[in-house]
Chains A and B, each alone.
Chain A
């Protein structure tokens, strides 16, 4: 039994992340852009390094020793990811490039067979572009319609709209588990139940939840879940699609060609079993292995502890940000309803100007439309700034951030 930690030992964790030792503009780096991508611990960097130094080979087909080791490591990573989100079977994990590709795979492969004229696709107004545009294209092609569940003044989904929009014509409901802008944690389990009651499928965009909190796909009862490796300490270029086996089995392949076929003849071809049917071409072996190492690292800390730490840092940041004159926060103020992602605007300072001023003090935040223009339109803001936290962030860093916000406010008050 692992000792229950009330807070993570961020100081010890920081030692595992070489990049956190660097200076930016002669100041210690304060990395608050974790919702865009996380930094990587030594164990992940080393796992990738070891693969290329010791057993780099193409997988599945080779008979030689290196190919065997690489194949084992690749499939071991799949098992780690499967356990991490508690899938029923390991073969329900499909490796992709990123969450965007995972979402496109479902819209393209499942959508083109199962969505038709007059059918409805239900999304939420807080979706990332990658969980909007594939559905819009599908709807245009099929004559289906896309509808959006709106949010209330707290940045939480309106329950009345959830019930109103999901109906018998709904084929699929696609919802972000945690918003990359508002930080809102959505009640995905409840929405899954409702969608299934109407015979619709339920997809979770888990890009902002899997890295930050315990996620159990069987408990949620989602048909699909998508997330990226690079937001959860893993390398870029590896993503995951989870799909219930019975869903994935009924779907045609997405990309086709090498690796994914069983037999090819001049008259046609047949596909491999899951998950390989959806993994065409030479896969990102080092990426999968790096992701496996990232899962190990997170498991070692415990996802409950990860979530608690971010709640503490996020709660502290929210409280301190409220003290800054003219600062407006978008999203729930209740720390139990959100992950450590805080979008805000400071007076009439444009988000890009604010990010530039903070950068002078070594603070990395995100600014812009956050890949969620429909939400920006709904909030009636052109852009927001966003601070997002992870396991290695500290309250002392939040203090540096607040000081820089005050500095920006004074510069623009001149």
Chain B
């Protein structure tokens, strides 16, 4: 009963998402959706000293989108905003441990897009085309 995409770790993060919920004293909150499938992710970031000091996410959608957002929230916690801006598709694939293919990769990248949107919003900077094209 194996499935290449749905490894135990992805299902575990889907069933028991880490950093799920609200951050009442968040400095920035950003929500975005994947127009193709309607998956929604909201990221709430607490920022201090140029770093993400705390993070929560909320969302609705498939296992790939929700699990990767949760994994990503763990990865970015403690990272500087510049480090987050430098993250890319390869980092998300590394977290998942699989390549979900050209269609489902959009699901996996939604969390990354939203966390980057939050960073750009906090810095008051214009979002790059590269970030807009993630999903």
Tell whether, in the assembled complex, residue B3 and residue A352 are in contact, meaning their CB atoms are under 8 Å apart.
no
Complex: how many Å from CA A352 to CA B107? 9
A353 near B60 with CB under 8 A, answer no
The residue in chain B whose Cβ has the minimal distance to the Cβ of A382 is B38
Binds B, one of A26-34, A63-71, A321-329, A404-412: A404-412
Q: Is the CB of B104 within 8 A of A356?
A: yes
B38 and A350 contacting across the interface, CB-CB below 8 Å:
no
**B62 to A369, Cβ gap below 8 A?**
no
CA distance A349 to B38 in the complex (A): 15
Q: Quick check: A356 and B5 within 8 Å, CB to CB?
A: yes
Inter-subunit contact B37/A352 (CB<8 Å): yes
Question: In the complex, are the beta carbons of A383 and B3 less than 8 A apart?
Answer: no
Would B8 and A360 count as touching, CB distance under 8 A?
no
Render A348-362 as a binary contact track against B, CB cut-off 8 A, 1 for contact.
Answer: 011111001100100
A234 to B100, CA, bound (A): 32
* C-alpha spacing A367/B6, complex, angstroms: 17
Within 8 A of B (CB), among A232-262: none
- Given known pairs A350-B62, A352-B62, A356-B104, the reply for A412 and B11 (CB within 8 Å) is yes
On chain A, the number of residues with a Cβ less than 8 Å from chain B's Cβ atoms is 18
**Chain A 149-165 interface residues, beta-carbon cutoff 8 Å to B:** none
Q: Is A265 part of the binding interface, using a Cβ–Cβ cutoff of 8 Å?
A: no
B1 touches A410 (CB 8 A): yes
Q: A368-B37, A382-B38 are in contact. Are A353 and B1 (CB under 8 A)?
A: no
Query: Which chain B residues in 26-72 approach chain A with CB under 8 Å?
Result: 36-39, 60-64
- With contacts A383-B38, A412-B11 taken as known, whether A357 is within 8 angstroms of B3 at the C-beta atoms is yes
- Smallest CB–CB gap between B65 and chain A, Å? 8
Instruction: Please report the C-alpha to C-alpha distance between residue A352 and residue B6 in the assembled complex, in whole angstroms.
Output: 12
Q: B4 at interface (Cβ–Cβ under 8 A)? A: yes
Query: Given A382-B60, A411-B1, A412-B11, does the pair A353, B38 have CB atoms closer than 8 Å?
Result: no
Contact: B62 with A353, CB < 8 Å? Answer: yes
B39 contacts across to A, CB distance below 8 A = 352
Q: What CA separation (Å) do A349 and B63 show in the bound complex?
A: 8
Contacting pair A411 B37 (CB below 8 A): no
Q: A352-B104, A356-B5, A356-B104 in contact; A369/B63 too (CB < 8 A)?
A: no
B contact residues around A21 at 8 Å (CB):
none
Check if A414 is an interface residue, CB within 8 A of chain B. yes
Contacts of A412 in B (CB 8 A): 6, 11, 63
Q: How long is the Cα–Cα vector from A383 to B37 in the complex, in angstroms?
A: 8
Whether the pair B38, A369 counts as a contact (CB closer than 8 A) is yes
Task: Give the secondary structure class of A's interface.
Answer: helix
Beta-carbon contact of B63 and A353 below 8 Å = yes
User: Which residues of chain A have C-beta atoms less than 8 A from B104's C-beta?
Assistant: 352, 356
Q: Which residues of chain B come closer than 8 Å to A411, judged between CB atoms?
A: 1, 3, 6, 11
A344 to nearest B CB, angstroms? 16
Instruction: List, in ascending order, chain A residues with CB within 8 A of B1's CB.
Output: 407, 410-411
Expressed in whole angstroms, the minimum distance between the Cβ of B38 and any Cβ of chain A is: 6
Residues of A within 8 A of B11 (CB): 411-412, 414
Instruction: State in angstroms the CA–CA spacing of A251 and B103 once bound together.
Output: 43
In contact, A360 and B4 (Cβ under 8 angstroms): yes
Chain A residue nearest in CB terms to B1: A410
Most chain A CB inside 10 Å of its own CB: which residue of B36, B61, B63: B63
> How distant is B4 from chain A, measured CB to nearest CB, in Å?
7
Contacts of A382 in B (CB 8 A): 38, 60-61
**B37 proximity list for chain A (CB < 8 A):** 352, 367-368, 383
Q: Inside 8 A of B61's CB, which chain A residues have their CB?
A: 350, 352, 382
Determine which residue in B3, B11, B39 has the highest number of CB atoms from chain A within 10 A of its CB, and name it. B3
> A360–B101 Cα gap in the complex (Å)?
12
Residues of A within 8 A of B5 (CB): 356-357, 360
Which B-chain residue is minimally distant from A376 (CB atoms)?
B38
CA of A349 to CA of B14, assembled, Å: 11
Q: Which of A335-381 contact B (CB under 8 A)?
A: 349-353, 356-357, 360, 367-369
Q: Are A353 and B64 in contact (CB under 8 A)?
A: yes
Residue of B nearest to A410 (CB): B1
CA distance A112 to B5 in the complex (A): 50
Interface set of B (CB-CB < 8 Å, partner A): 1, 3-6, 8, 11, 36-39, 60-64, 100, 104, 107
Between A and B, 19 residue pairs with Cβ closer than 8 Å are A352-B39, A352-B61, A352-B107, A353-B6, A353-B63, A356-B64, A357-B5, A360-B4, A367-B37, A368-B36, A368-B37, A368-B38, A369-B38, A382-B61, A383-B37, A410-B1, A411-B3, A412-B11, A412-B63
The 5 A-B pairs with the shortest beta carbon distances in the complex, nearest first, are A350-B62, A352-B62, A353-B63, A353-B62, A411-B3
Given contacts A353-B63, A382-B61, 4 further A-B contacts (CB under 8 A): A350-B61, A369-B38, A382-B60, A411-B11
